[in-house]
């Protein structure tokens, strides 16, 4: 079973999606929400899975807390949150550092920050004095402190350099434009400094969050028209906003790729790119992204699990097994690893091995996924050539769910999926009548969809982790239309039993349709 997004993406009961990855509060602190449209599942996932073993981490995760205003001048309160944002921006793209403003310590600890940057400021406007401490989050011990004086911009540029000498300067040097940005008056800010990338970004993002799509697009276009716009990172983020608002998948993926090249320590952003590569069925590319994430965050067990799935999707079963075996040796991951191994083998047509791992997963934890590994083992046993033995496994599964009011439907679905249509209909008719049963019987009297354009849309807009139904129906329609080569491309990986996605009333039709389509294009089928 895949851990998830996100998002989306991972990917809700039994949703198998790479987006059940782990997207910590670092991702939630990401300054603009447009990425969230595609990474909602992802952003539910990085902290849960970022295990802390106490070993040195290859990337320092800096939580920059609001600075306390001790000037006595409430008109300077804006500096408290603006100063951390400047430091984080100066450190963006710096190797081995991922810095994000955080509202408080609790959020910083939840985000698995390795260091906390906090402090206070005194003085008056234009002559401020900042006392800034860097704290080891695990030991609650001060590592270093820094004093910086002057205006907020020069002081924070100095603080960022103190944290890491590779820090770059902020994207404006105009004090008035900075103050307008700090007050979220973005229109005035860009009027004062037309090349202030962060201000253009903030303006476009704010409009987008308010649902003013056309206005956000216009602001983004104006920003990108400036060849002298400061900050390549802000430019790429604006490109991402525009692509997302325009629903331009290709441009969005390109912007994500550009951003991850600039922000090589931003795990949530890399997870968004991995999701995009998976959804585009560029499985080998997704594998590389997941590997890059593990270089940054080697303890992220969810990413390791998702890497195994991506390798399985890419039909690199040996690599998938190696990854998932290693994943299963991590604390508390054995049962899920066994289930994942079963699915990796199943989707690649290795049904004997799949059954073995599904049964091991069930033996490891009978309650895992409600005992669904027994059901998956039954499908694997049937596809390996023994329907009678498969019936025995399915009976065991149904017995574990005997109190479930839809159990009769489950049994009928099994009969229909394994080629016993009349038996399935009789079984459902003899069961206590429910509207659900009536709808299923009516559905069995209908043909599967054949509209190629609609089926293609459904397939392309369904993530691989839940596309079994959409892929089976689309492949069958392609085969029937004589487009056998296109159909073969969709029939290499087997759909997973019990997979989320699609219409539950057509779940029973997935395997008969898939098997028939394989035979129609000359591929081996049971």
pLDDT at 15: 29
- For the chain, the distance separating the N- and C-terminal CA atoms, rounded to the nearest angstrom, is 25
Other CB atoms within 10 A of residue 73 CB: 12
* Concatenated DSSP letters of 341-392: HHHHHHHTT-HHHHHHHHHHHHHH-TTGGGGHHHHHHHHHHHHTT-HHHHHH
Which tens digits make up the pLDDT trace of 120-133? 999 988 799 999 99
Q: What is the mean pLDDT of the chain?
A: 88
Burial of 461 (0-12, 13-18, 19+ CB in 10 A): exposed
Phi and psi, residue 282, nearest 5°: -95, 75
pLDDT band of 405, cuts 50, 70, 90: confident
- Residue 514 CA to residue 492 CA, distance in Å, equals 10
- Residue 474 CA to residue 452 CA, distance in Å, equals 7
pLDDT at 9: 30
pLDDT at 437: 86
Lowest mean per-residue pLDDT among 103-107, 193-197, 287-291: 103-107
3-state secondary structure of 98: strand
| Mean of pLDDT values over 467-472 | 96
User: 3-state DSSP helix/strand/coil percent for the chain, to nearest 5?
Assistant: 60, 10, 35
Q: What percent of the chain is modeled with pLDDT above 70?
A: 89
Residue 91 sits at the vertex; the CA angle it makes with 89 and 93, to the nearest 5 degrees, is 95
Cα–Cα distances (Å) from 30 to 261, 339, 417, 496, 504, in that order, read 17, 33, 45, 34, 36
Burial of 516 (0-12, 13-18, 19+ CB in 10 A): middle
Sign of CA dihedral 422, 428, 429, 434: negative
| Residue 50 per-residue DSSP state | B
Output the CA torsion 269→216→232→285 (10° steps).
40
The encoded tokens of residue 149 equal 């004086």
Does the pLDDT at position 20 exceed 80? no
CB of 471 closer than 8 Å to CB of 459: yes
Across-strand partners of 133? 118, 145
- Residue 516 CA to residue 448 CA, distance in Å, equals 12
Which tens digits make up the pLDDT trace of 69-79? 999 999 999 99
Residue 83: closest CA among 36, 183, 153: 153
| Mean of pLDDT values over 375-380 | 98
Does the pLDDT at position 525 exceed 90? no
Residue 197: closest CA among 139, 140, 262, 251: 262
Burial of 291 (0-12, 13-18, 19+ CB in 10 A): middle
pLDDT band of 231, cuts 50, 70, 90: very high
Does the pLDDT at position 53 exceed 50? no
Does the pLDDT at position 259 exceed 50? yes
Does the pLDDT at position 23 exceed 90? no
pLDDT at 2: 64
| Mean of pLDDT values over 387-414 | 93
Mean pLDDT highest for which of 142-146, 263-267, 313-317, 433-437?
Answer: 313-317
CB of 65 closer than 8 Å to CB of 108: yes
Does the pLDDT at position 95 exceed 60? yes
- Residue 43 CA to residue 24 CA, distance in Å, equals 7
Which tens digits make up the pLDDT trace of 132-191? 999 999 888 888 888 999 999 999 999 999 999 999 999 999 999 999 999 999 999 999
pLDDT at 376: 97
Across-strand partners of 355? none
Cα–Cα distances (Å) from 372 to 233, 367, 481, 500, in that order, read 45, 9, 36, 13
């Amino acid at each position: 079973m895949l851990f998830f997004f996100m998002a989306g993406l991972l990917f809700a009961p039994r949703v198998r999606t790479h987006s059940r990855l782990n997207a910590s509060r670092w991702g939630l602190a990401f300054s603009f929400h447009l990425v969230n449209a595609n990474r909602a599942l992802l952003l539910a996932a990085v902290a849960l899975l970022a295990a802390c073993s106490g070993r040195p981490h290859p990337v320092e995760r800096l939580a920059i807390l609001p600075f306390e205003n001790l000037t006595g001048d409430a008109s300077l309160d804006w500096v408290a949150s603006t100063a951390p944002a400047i430091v984080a921006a100066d450190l963006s793209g710096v190797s081995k550092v991922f810095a994000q403003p955080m509202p408080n310590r609790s959020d910083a600890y939840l985000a698995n920050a390795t260091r906390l940057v906090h402090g206070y400021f005194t003085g008056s406007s234009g002559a401020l004095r900042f006392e800034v401490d860097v704290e080891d989050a695990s030991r609650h011990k001060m590592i270093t402190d820094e004093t910086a004086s002057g205006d907020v911009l020069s002081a924070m540029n100095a603080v960022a350099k103190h944290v890491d000498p590779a820090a770059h300067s902020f994207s404006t040097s105009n004090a008035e434009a900075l103050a307008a940005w700090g007050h979220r008056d973005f229109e005035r800010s860009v009027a004062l400094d037309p090349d202030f990338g962060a201000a253009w970004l903030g303006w476009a993002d704010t409009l987008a969050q308010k649902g003013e799509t056309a206005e956000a697009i216009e602001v983004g276009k104006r920003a990108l028209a400036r060849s002298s716009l400061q900050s390549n990172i802000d430019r790429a983020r604006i490109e991402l906003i525009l692509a997302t608002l325009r629903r331009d998948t290709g441009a969005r993926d390109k912007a994500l790729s550009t951003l991850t090249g600039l922000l090589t320590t931003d795990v949530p952003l890399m997870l968004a790119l991995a999701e995009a590569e998976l959804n585009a069925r560029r499985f080998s590319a997704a594998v590389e992204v997941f590997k890059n994430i593990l270089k940054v965050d080697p303890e992220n067990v969810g990413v390791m699990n998702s890497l195994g799935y991506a390798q399985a999707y890419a039909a690199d079963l040996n690599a998938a097994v190696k990854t998932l075996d290693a994943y299963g040796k991590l604390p508390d991951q054995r049962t899920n690893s066994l289930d994942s191994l079963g699915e990796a083998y199943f989707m690649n047509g290795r049904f004997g091995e799949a059954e073995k791992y599904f049964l091991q997963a069930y033996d490891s934890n009978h309650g895992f996924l409600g005992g669904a590994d027994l059901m998956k083992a039954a499908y694997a046993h049937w596809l390996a050539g023994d329907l009678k033995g498969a019936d025995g496994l399915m009976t065991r599964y149904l017995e574990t769910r005997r109190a479930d009011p839809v159990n009769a439907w489950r049994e009928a679905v099994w009969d229909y999926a394994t080629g016993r249509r009349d038996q399935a209909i009789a079984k459902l008719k003899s069961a206590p009548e429910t509207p659900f049963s009536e709808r299923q019987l009516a559905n069995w009297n209908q043909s599967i969809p054949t509209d190629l354009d609609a089926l293609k849309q459904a397939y392309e807009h369904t993530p691989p982790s839940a596309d079994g139904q959409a892929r089976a129906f689309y492949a069958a329609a392609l085969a029937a239309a004589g487009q056998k080569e296109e159909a073969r491309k969709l029939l290499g990986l087997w759909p997973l039993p019990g997979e989320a996605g699609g219409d539950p009333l057509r779940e029973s039709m997935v395997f008969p349709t898939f098997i028939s389509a394989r035979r129609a294009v000359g591929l081996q089928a049971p």
